[in-house]
Structure 1
């Protein structure tokens, strides 16, 4: 019996998300401000910013780097796990990252970018490859170690980004939250058996 949630043949959700982020680079500044993560606006009831803040960026180069990683991971991952599961994970992870920033970093007034979700997708790709044994596991361990070291370097202030305007800093906390969401997906979603199918969706 074929599962109704069979893996996607083409990364449609990843492509649509990347396209939306790229189009928004050229949106009017008023629209970008309306969509960005803004602490005070969220606390006043503008909850859509928990999701839309990930779609807007500080510059075209910032958006290009973020969407490039998104497309690269999405092209590999979405055919493996399916579009519906990818969309669900991106949906709850975007909200979890933004809420954690809201609760844990009261000094953070604004946040923009897909980088936390990029880290999520990299983590999900590594765990999917691990489960399906698509690459030698030593390479996957090396990839995971590099991801952790990159986040640690950002936390120590040893890594910056030339794609961000002056005065805007890399939010390593958001990257760490993306990594955590990827691990939660691996533990609570990927490992869950699916009735009627041997596919994890």
Structure 2
């Protein structure tokens, strides 16, 4: 059977990602504009924005809320699946999410924030806890229902009272839906890769 990734002793990748996002809050506006998701700039060849657009935010409060949720998920998820797997998931999912937004939401000119990746991590966390029986199943079902309810309310334009965006900036619910989808995809791929072959089971 394929060996599982060594569990992380502490969430180093999550902490580093959170630190970078917080530091960038105080970056010069010109640098933030250079890093943010900008559809036309990406189409012109500025590919780094597929990754860096997730790291910059519209305000300090926006960043703090995203970072708090990132650390909450990371403290649970990273020790369960390992730092290497989490880094691989984030580095692959960040551009995939940005490309999907470019394809599926062509009217979206600008985007900033970690929330899409945080939703992906939350989905991965719930799946990892379910597989490892780390929490009673009824609690996991409730948490999953709350995540899906929040995402559904955002898609319908119903306020959940948790919007940290400045006035005039709307929640990009499509990124949150993509986060759920990418979290499910990552879990499915990992399950397939770690599934023992017939020879290994015998």
Category of TM-score, reference length = shorter chain: over 0.9
Deviates further, 157-166 or 104-113: 157-166
Q: 1:146 corresponds to which residue? A: 146
The answer to whether the aligner puts 1:72 opposite 2:72 as a matched pair is yes
Tell me, which stretches of 5 or more residues in structure 1 are unaligned?
196-201
1:44-193 to 2 correspondences below 5 Å: 44-159=44-159, 162-193=163-194
The answer to whether the aligner puts 1:14 opposite 2:14 as a matched pair is yes
Deviation at 1:161, TM superposition (A): 5.1
**CA distance, structure 2, for counterparts of residue 161 and residue 54 of structure 1:** 19
Quote the RMSD (CA, aligned, Å): 1.6
**CA distance, structure 2, for counterparts of residue 106 and residue 186 of structure 1:** 28
> Secondary structure at 2:107's aligned position in 1?
coil
- Scaled by the length of structure 1, what TM-score is found? 0.92
**CA distance, structure 1, for counterparts of residue 19 and residue 191 of structure 2:** 27
The answer to whether the aligner puts 1:42 opposite 2:37 as a matched pair is no
Deviation at 1:114, TM superposition (A): 0.3
**CA distance, structure 2, for counterparts of residue 116 and residue 5 of structure 1:** 24
**CA distance, structure 1, for counterparts of residue 163 and residue 174 of structure 2:** 18
Kindly indicate whether the alpha-carbon contact (under 8 Å) linking 1:161 and 1:170 is maintained by their aligned counterparts in 2: no
Residues 39-95 of structure 1 show CA distances to partners (whole Å, capped at 9, x for unaligned) of: 000000001100000000000000000000001110111011100000000111111
- Scaled by the length of structure 2, what TM-score is found? 0.92
Tell me, which stretches of 5 or more residues in structure 2 are unaligned?
197-202
Deviation at 1:162, TM superposition (A): 4.4
**CA distance, structure 2, for counterparts of residue 161 and residue 10 of structure 1:** 28
Residues 16-37 of structure 1 show CA distances to partners (whole Å, capped at 9, x for unaligned) of: 0000000000000000000000
